[in-house]
Amino acid sequence: TSACFGVPAELRKKATTVPRPKRRYLPTTVRNDCVIMKAFPTLVLLVGVVIVGCSLLAEHAHATVVESCGDTRALVPIEENVIEISNCEKGPCKLKRRTSVSINQKFTPSEDVKSLNTAVFAKIVGLPLPFIGVDGTSACQHLYAEDGETQVGCPLKAGVPVVYKRSFDVLEIYPKIPSMTIHWELQTKSGRAITCFEVPAKIV
């Protein structure tokens, strides 16, 4: 046998060769769990976005398409209101005689409001005709918390959502009117508009 510096080749090979440790792999299930844990925050964010999106869609699913009140500038912009008029998703709303029409309106005032009155009239050929029994009445007893069940009344607090719920009868004595515009406004005692919307309608 050959030698290097007096050391046999076999011994030199054993002395200079360091055995490599075997690579250890995590079991497949453990690796998958690690991947899931790393992706978990992203999954939570995506689920949250989906839930919020579905909630908004559900909230607006039955909302009625309404219009702003022209020159009347309300404290709460029209796009920040969610309004539901019974049996009407888009105007002209059909108001059937001998029936009752309900209105649900959700909004959030941007400042404190001490009290609210209702100003409601129908514009027929440019002439405003007030809704008797609704126009000029207090809106406070028709204000509820966001759940729509807990009555809160007045005053309103800035940044706190409220739901205004009101219904009115379409009397049999009303004549059939093929075209009109309903103006519905909630205002302070001084006449300042807090919310306001208009919607085309007809009495049938």
Residue 46 lies in a domain: no
99 in any annotated domain:
yes
Overall number of domains in the chain: 1
Omega of the bond leading into 155 within 30 degrees of 0 (cis): yes
Q: Provide the phi-psi class of 146: left if phi over 0, else alpha when psi is between -120 and 50, else beta.
A: alpha
In a domain, 160, yes or no: yes
pLDDT in tens, 75-124: 999 999 999 999 999 999 999 999 999 999 999 999 999 999 999 999 99
106/84 Cα distance (integer angstroms):
9
46 vs 195 pLDDT, higher one:
195
In a domain, 51, yes or no: no
Asked if residue 151 has pLDDT above 60, the reply is yes
Q: Which is more confidently placed, 59 or 164?
A: 164
- CB atoms inside a 10 Å sphere around CB 135: 19
CATH (domain of 158): 2.60.40.770
**Is position 54 within any domain?**
no
- Residue 179 CA to residue 48 CA, distance in Å, equals 44
Phi, psi values for residue 173, rounded to 5°: -75, -10
Whether 156 is in a domain gets the answer yes
Confidence of residue 126 (pLDDT cuts 50, 70, 90): confident
- pLDDT above 90 (res 146): yes
8-21, pLDDT tens digit by residue? 555 555 545 555 65
pLDDT number for residue 31? 57
What is the side-by-side strand order in the sheet with 82-85?
Answer: 82-85, 99-107, 162-170, 143-144
- In tens, the pLDDT along 33-72 reads 555 556 555 544 443 433 433 344 444 457 999 999 988 8
Q: What is the C-alpha separation between 144 and 139, in angstroms, rounded?
A: 11
Domain coverage including residue 195: 67-203
Contact 144, 170 (CB under 8 A): no
Nearest alpha-carbon partner for 185 in 148, 128, 139:
139
Domain presence at residue 59: no
> What local confidence, expressed as pLDDT, does residue 164 receive?
98
The conformation of residue 17, written as its DSSP 8-state character, comes to P
Of 48 and 195, more confident: 195
DSSP assigned state of 19: P
| Amino acid 2: pLDDT | 47
pTM: 0.69
| Residue 123 confidence (pLDDT) | 94
Q: Give me 63's structure tokens.
A: 């909302």
Task: Judge whether 196 lies within some domain.
Answer: yes
What the block records as the tokens of 85 is 């008029």
| DSSP class of 151 | B
The span from the CA of 2 to the CA of 173, in Å, is 125
